[in-house]
Amino acid sequence: PLPREGGQGSGGVQDVKLQPPEVVPMEMRTVCRVPGLVEALRRFRGDMTLDPDTANPELVLSEDRRSVRRGDLRQALPDSPERFDPGPCVLGREPLTSGRHYWEVEVGERASWALGVCRENANRKEKGELFAGNGFWILVFLGSYYNSSERAFAPLRDPPRRVGIFLDYEAGHLSFYSANDGSLLYTFPETPFSGTLRALFSPLSSSPTPMT
């Protein structure tokens, strides 16, 4: 399981679990920067808003549903199968069923975050592992390293302040980029996607600065 920051109180990183990762040695990791790559991917950029009905009660969404932060108090919201709990997550409103999609998230200098996609029918009350077998494809940042369901690796440079996510549904391709310099952060192994996917956002730890 990922560690809880700040002990057991509200505002810490909850028990979002991943499979035991394989640490990738430094010599096996390479930097991939393609000039103009992010600009090219932005051709597939679509409108992305947050779905309040899926938001964990500790998450605070902006009125325009375009940013989210984790608050210090748990809101009194009606429970439903659609709402994440205990995981501090919220989904994008737009269904992803085909084609190519690209979106960017301003993470700033946050100490931790998680981004990716999940199946529409994934268990949002999940207390166990969040990995592809359970319908989650997410990249987690925990201050000094990144973690996916398959491996962990230390950042090769300063963490990005803005992350780009590119999904090619038919090709089974999901990649994460630094939108600041165009470098590749991580690509999941080719995946035969099926059914509806939704973008997933999680600020993990509390901060006055929202993810946008």
pLDDT of the residue at 15: 47
In this structure, is residue 10 part of a structural domain? no
Cis amide leading into 21 (omega within 30): no
**pLDDT value for 60:** 97
> Does residue 68 form part of some domain?
yes
Collect the ranges in the chain with pLDDT lower than 70.
1-35, 128-129, 155-157
- Domain of 192? 22-202
The pLDDT assigned to 206 comes to: 87
Residue 9 lies in a domain: no
Q: Output the DSSP codes for 65-117.
A: SS-EEE-SS-------TTS--SS--EEBSS-B-SSEEEEEEE-TT-S-EEEEE
For residue 73, the domain's CATH number is 2.60.120.920
Taking only the tens place, the pLDDT of each residue in 161-199 is 999 999 999 999 999 999 998 889 999 999 999 999 999
pLDDT of residue 145: 82
Question: What b/e readout covers 31-64, taking b as 16+ CB neighbours within 10 angstroms?
Answer: eeeeeebbeebeeeeeebebbeebbbbbbbbeee
Establish if 196 belongs to a structural domain. yes
In a domain, 6, yes or no: no
Residue 126's contacts (CB-CB under 8 Å, 6 or more residues apart) are 87, 134, 136
149 inside domain: yes
How many structural domains does the chain have? 1
8 in a domain, yes or no?
no
Q: 78 lies in a domain? A: yes
pLDDT at 30: 45
